[in-house]
Chain A
């Protein structure tokens, strides 16, 4: 967890939200590839035109709609919500059975056969990505797979394939270079930051946007890899165990020795006392 890994060759999404038209082709492609059930939705149930209102057990990715005004005109901004495929994923570090795996290709995948259903991953994920199959009696966790089954075979993820304009897919270093060159070429068009470069220690999904990210509904996330927060305490476990056990054992040896010496002294006294008595 402490060693520096090279993530520059991992497959990475670059999602340019200024180029997103809100067609939701990615949502449809995702449902088709992952064989996800349709959700019964109501218009305007969530924020603005977005539908369904949130990611769920049936929806791994979702286009968030945001209405805002620019120069007195109504505008739309979009945000494609999905798993960020962190370089050092919190879900993988907290899972007691290691059901999450950061693959060398880039996607973070989930192994349902290992899952015991403690839902710690849902608490840990800073982006709120893992969802639970609340409709099932014995549910699993579900989330965007990064289309690992496609990526492994040399295809690009379903959403990236379906997207007509906004999603590029390639190695992380290429995507970062591309993002930076776009920022440089059109500084007036973009909010000057790449979301996902630093967040949670870096992710395999990068975003460019016109609006500030927090206004679009992105979460503010620390730049330090999340597993390092718990590891800072957990790495002390063996030392704490040995110190605690050792010192308690030593103290009890001391106190019992004191007791034994006292008793021996008493016995000696009794014996001497007894002799005097005879």
Chain B
């Protein structure tokens, strides 16, 4: 009883935005339940013309690159050994883990035969991009879970698994990055089959490479957005100085992506290109607002020190460079001329809003209870063995002898 009371009191103490998010998540869960009771046809606006709608376009095709921060930052920090960025890694891994878990949920919701999902293992088809992505998303979610377990073990003092996880840290990061490379690009491969369906502005054989590149810069941008929002709203330290390193890396990827886009458009894409004004506007919105403008912003000196410029540029990358691009490829660009237009149903929208709310909610709650932001290795010694607990460096005499003084 007392535990229930404590939980209730704890929940009662949450701020109103958290409570509001709770409400959205509950609505989303109810809507998802309705989908299983009444079926896809009755609850969504999907039909034979639009077999894929909001759930695939957002919950899968867009959410996967939005969760790319974990693998990109993991590689930057651990592989390229830019150690000072380590405080950013745990929030990124948490975002990645939550993102992928919710992708799995979104995918299950969208399946017509979710109870047969296991058939993926029984009847694998190696020629299917969907098989490749399903396998990669499952294995990556597992890797992200293992990466995320470190703060959990620290919190509860599970020392033996913690030791194992620390040993595995680097191999997991490398494995995760390799797997993520595969499925981030293969989501682009999905649309290679849509020859004569996807509009020439987006259809080209380099689509997988474009998807991977945009996932990388989105991952880094998400880390920037997240760090700044967390600083402003969850009272965490200001990381502008660390983010400056990311703003130096980003222009390379943005520039490479822009070059890829232009090259593909001129040399690889079919013709005609600019026959549909609506699509042309969407395409240029994506390029101008999502790539060129943030590229210019990130090249300015001020973006190294001014967190509001960092936030602005990174949000542009996320919303126009990535989200708009994924919707252009998976939805708008697939609409044929004179075809009826699809709008997600209320229920579809409630589910997707619920998934986004769940992401933010779980992030805030996990950050509240687990050491996500306190991971500053320069101040805290994480080496094992130290009776497997965090010990301040100054407090350890053996370490003091080695000290820099």
Instruction: Report if A and B associate in a common complex.
Output: yes
Question: Nearest residue in A to B82 (C-beta to C-beta)?
Answer: A255
Judged by a CB distance under 8 angstroms, whether A126 is at the interface is yes
- Which residues of the other chain, B, contact A240 by a CB distance below 8 angstroms? 181-182, 185
Judged by a CB distance under 8 angstroms, whether A23 is at the interface is no
Query: Across the interface, do B51 and A126 meet the contact criterion of CB distance under 8 Å?
Result: no
- The interface size of chain B toward A, counting residues with CB under 8 Å, comes to 63
- Which residues of the other chain, B, contact A118 by a CB distance below 8 angstroms? 110-112, 130
Question: Nearest residue in A to B108 (C-beta to C-beta)?
Answer: A116
Question: Nearest residue in A to B39 (C-beta to C-beta)?
Answer: A137
- Which residues of the other chain, A, contact B195 by a CB distance below 8 angstroms? 126, 222, 224, 226, 229
- Which residues of the other chain, B, contact A270 by a CB distance below 8 angstroms? 402
CB-contact partner of B205 in A136, A233, A255, A259, under 8 A: A233
Judged by a CB distance under 8 angstroms, whether B373 is at the interface is no
- Which residues of the other chain, A, contact B39 by a CB distance below 8 angstroms? 134-139
Judged by a CB distance under 8 angstroms, whether A245 is at the interface is yes
Query: Across the interface, do A54 and B48 meet the contact criterion of CB distance under 8 Å?
Result: yes
Query: Across the interface, do B46 and A230 meet the contact criterion of CB distance under 8 Å?
Result: no
Query: Across the interface, do A115 and B193 meet the contact criterion of CB distance under 8 Å?
Result: no
The 7 closest A-B pairs by CB, nearest first: A117-B112, A134-B41, A255-B81, A137-B39, A245-B178, A96-B131, A122-B51
Query: Across the interface, do A131 and B119 meet the contact criterion of CB distance under 8 Å?
Result: no
* Given A134-B41, A237-B186; A124-B194 close (CB under 8 Å): yes
Distance of A243 from chain B, by nearest CB (Å): 9
Query: Across the interface, do B119 and A119 meet the contact criterion of CB distance under 8 Å?
Result: no
* Given A96-B128, A134-B40, A237-B186; A56-B112 close (CB under 8 Å): no
A252–B112 CA distance with the chains assembled, in angstroms: 43
- Which residues of the other chain, B, contact A94 by a CB distance below 8 angstroms? 127-130, 193
A251–B76 CA distance with the chains assembled, in angstroms: 11
Judged by a CB distance under 8 angstroms, whether A123 is at the interface is yes
- Which residues of the other chain, A, contact B114 by a CB distance below 8 angstroms? 116-117
Distance of B164 from chain A, by nearest CB (Å): 19
Judged by a CB distance under 8 angstroms, whether A38 is at the interface is no
- Which residues of the other chain, B, contact A180 by a CB distance below 8 angstroms? none
Q: For chain B residues 303-343, which have a beta carbon within 8 Å of chain A?
A: 334
Using an 8 Å CB-CB cutoff, how does the interface string of B186-197 with A read, 1 for contact, 0 for none?
101110111111
CB-contact partner of A137 in B36, B132, B174, under 8 A: B36
Query: Across the interface, do A233 and B112 meet the contact criterion of CB distance under 8 Å?
Result: no
Judged by a CB distance under 8 angstroms, whether A227 is at the interface is yes
Query: Across the interface, do A115 and B48 meet the contact criterion of CB distance under 8 Å?
Result: no
* Given A54-B48, A114-B119; A248-B75 close (CB under 8 Å): yes
A219–B179 CA distance with the chains assembled, in angstroms: 37
Query: Across the interface, do B196 and A137 meet the contact criterion of CB distance under 8 Å?
Result: no
Query: Across the interface, do B119 and A97 meet the contact criterion of CB distance under 8 Å?
Result: yes
- Which residues of the other chain, B, contact A137 by a CB distance below 8 angstroms? 36-39
- The interface size of chain A toward B, counting residues with CB under 8 Å, comes to 62
A226–B196 CA distance with the chains assembled, in angstroms: 10
- Which residues of the other chain, A, contact B345 by a CB distance below 8 angstroms? none
Query: Across the interface, do B81 and A259 meet the contact criterion of CB distance under 8 Å?
Result: yes
* Given A134-B41, A226-B193, A233-B208; A139-B112 close (CB under 8 Å): yes
Most buried by B among A93, A248, A270: A248
12 A-B interface contacts by CB (under 8 A): A56-B48, A93-B125, A97-B124, A115-B113, A120-B190, A126-B195, A139-B40, A139-B112, A240-B185, A244-B182, A249-B174, A270-B402
Judged by a CB distance under 8 angstroms, whether B281 is at the interface is no
Using an 8 Å CB-CB cutoff, how does the interface string of B93-136 with A read, 1 for contact, 0 for none?
00000000000000000111111110110111111111110100
A151–B302 CA distance with the chains assembled, in angstroms: 73
Judged by a CB distance under 8 angstroms, whether A84 is at the interface is no
- Which residues of the other chain, B, contact A245 by a CB distance below 8 angstroms? 174-175, 177-178
Query: Across the interface, do B41 and A117 meet the contact criterion of CB distance under 8 Å?
Result: no
CB-contact partner of A126 in B48, B178, B196, under 8 A: B196
List 11 other contacts, CB 8 Å, given A93-B125, A132-B41.
A97-B120, A97-B123, A116-B113, A116-B116, A132-B112, A137-B39, A138-B112, A139-B39, A139-B41, A230-B193, A255-B79
CB-contact partner of A252 in B81, B132, B134, B197, under 8 A: B81
Distance of A14 from chain B, by nearest CB (Å): 24
Question: Nearest residue in A to B44 (C-beta to C-beta)?
Answer: A134
A255–B181 CA distance with the chains assembled, in angstroms: 21
Q: For chain B residues 200-215, which have a beta carbon within 8 Å of chain A?
A: 205, 207-208
Distance of B267 from chain A, by nearest CB (Å): 16
CB-contact partner of B79 in A226, A237, A252, under 8 A: A252
- Which residues of the other chain, B, contact A226 by a CB distance below 8 angstroms? 193, 195
A126–B336 CA distance with the chains assembled, in angstroms: 13
- Which residues of the other chain, A, contact B369 by a CB distance below 8 angstroms? none
Judged by a CB distance under 8 angstroms, whether B393 is at the interface is no
- Which residues of the other chain, A, contact B402 by a CB distance below 8 angstroms? 267, 270
Distance of A93 from chain B, by nearest CB (Å): 5
Query: Across the interface, do B46 and A134 meet the contact criterion of CB distance under 8 Å?
Result: yes
Judged by a CB distance under 8 angstroms, whether A187 is at the interface is no
- Which residues of the other chain, B, contact A268 by a CB distance below 8 angstroms? none
CB-contact partner of A117 in B111, B126, B190, under 8 A: B111
- Which residues of the other chain, B, contact A114 by a CB distance below 8 angstroms? 116, 119, 122-123
Judged by a CB distance under 8 angstroms, whether B159 is at the interface is no
Query: Across the interface, do B119 and A116 meet the contact criterion of CB distance under 8 Å?
Result: yes
Judged by a CB distance under 8 angstroms, whether A144 is at the interface is no
- Which residues of the other chain, B, contact A211 by a CB distance below 8 angstroms? none
- Which residues of the other chain, B, contact A229 by a CB distance below 8 angstroms? 192-193, 195, 205
- Which residues of the other chain, B, contact A99 by a CB distance below 8 angstroms? 123
Q: For chain B residues 14-63, which have a beta carbon within 8 Å of chain A?
A: 36-41, 46-48, 51-52
A237–B185 CA distance with the chains assembled, in angstroms: 9
